[in-house]
Structure 1
Amino acid sequence: MKYLLFICALTAANVSYGETLVAARTIPSHTIISPADVAIKDGNTLGALTLLEEVIGQEARVAIYAGRPIRRNDIGAPALVERNQIVKLAYSNGVLNISVEARALGRGSAGDVLRFMNLDSRTTISGTVQDDGSILVTK
């Protein structure tokens, strides 16, 4: 019986259960992740990403230290709008089209709802970041 347990333990130790993506170097937050930033480590880590396609081209939302697993909440789509950036704000309702310049009060990527300050009236407006970096206001 002891011999059988020893063989099972030895077999389990040599089996790879998958791969985990880890940071090859320390990746500062707001950095676009390139292939040189990622390494593959044998074994599964709970919550860690396993596919290079999910990581390459994404932006680090937090600092990811070398050797640490890369988790889904650590990365996201690259930001198109930076805080204090001047952007085009557009509102359209039928035949009424309004376009003004506004200052971003936050940082975000396509699809994020951010607050903006209209530079003419100094009022705060919420809008959705579009794929081209413009802002669409809906009400």
Structure 2
Amino acid sequence: MNRIILALVMALFPSLALAGVLAAARTLPAGTVITAADLRAENSDRPGLTDPSQAIGLQTRITIYEGRPIHANLLRPPRLVSRNQIVRLSFHRAALRIETEGRALDDGAAGELIRVMNVGSRNTVTARVQPDGSLLIND
């Protein structure tokens, strides 16, 4: 009975069934950082993000083809550090400050913890990615 009523309402008022969702304005390869030019609003019965501020500045996890709705689970914060990248590794405690080079063992976005190998000692440590792309060792 509920399905019949829903079908009748959707037939009489099709605009209620369609909502403005964000879709890809072009094919977005995996790793693309989304800009306003990459988005367009479409009427669709398929779910997706509706607010451009929820997508702009984020990076695609997978390729999103032109015209496909954009979902939050397809996006992630942009990666500042790539696996095998040589990075600045810092340790701070009170007046003690140590800086050295490290090799990232994982990809990482700002605020994430990743594994890093100290190039000099070959020890593996966990460090937090800073907004400038450097890494800070946590105690």
TM-score > 0.5 by shorter chain: yes
Matched residue count: 134
Q: Is the 8 A contact 1:32 1:57 kept in 2?
A: yes
Question: In 2, Cα distance between the equivalents of 1:111 and 1:10?
Answer: 48
Distance 2:109 2:122 in 1: 23
Go from structure 1 to structure 2 and tell me whether the alpha carbon gap of 1:138 and 1:18 turns closer, same or farther (over 3 Å shift).
Answer: same
Give aligned-pair identity as a percent.
39
**Per-residue deviation, 1:75:** 1.0
Aligned residues of 2:10 and 2:16 also touching (Cα < 8 A): no
Q: Secondary structure at the match of 2:13?
A: helix
Change (3 A) 1:11 1:96: same
Give the structure 2 partner of residue 37 of structure 1: 38
Please name the residue that 2:64 is paired with.
64
Gaps of 5+ in 2: none
Change (3 A) 1:10 1:136: same
Cα distance in 1, alignment partners of residues 8 and 83 from structure 2: 59
More strand by share: 2
Q: What's the TM-score once normalised by structure 1's chain length?
A: 0.84
Gaps of 5+ in 1: none
Shift of 1:16: 5.5
CA distance in 1: counterparts of 2:11 and 2:64, whole angstroms: 34
TM-score (norm 2): 0.84
- State whether residues 28 and 60 of structure 1, in contact with CA within 8 Å, keep that contact through their aligned partners in structure 2: yes
Runs of 4 or more above 2 Å deviation: 5-11, 14-18, 43-46
Q: How does 1:1-139 map to 2 (within 5 A)?
A: 8-15=9-16, 17-46=18-47, 48-139=48-139
The answer to whether the 8 A contact 2:10-2:17 is kept is no
> 1:56-90 CA distances to partner (integer Å, 9 max, x unpaired)?
22211111122221111111221111222111111
Q: CA–CA distance in 2 between the matches of 1:38 and 1:85?
A: 31
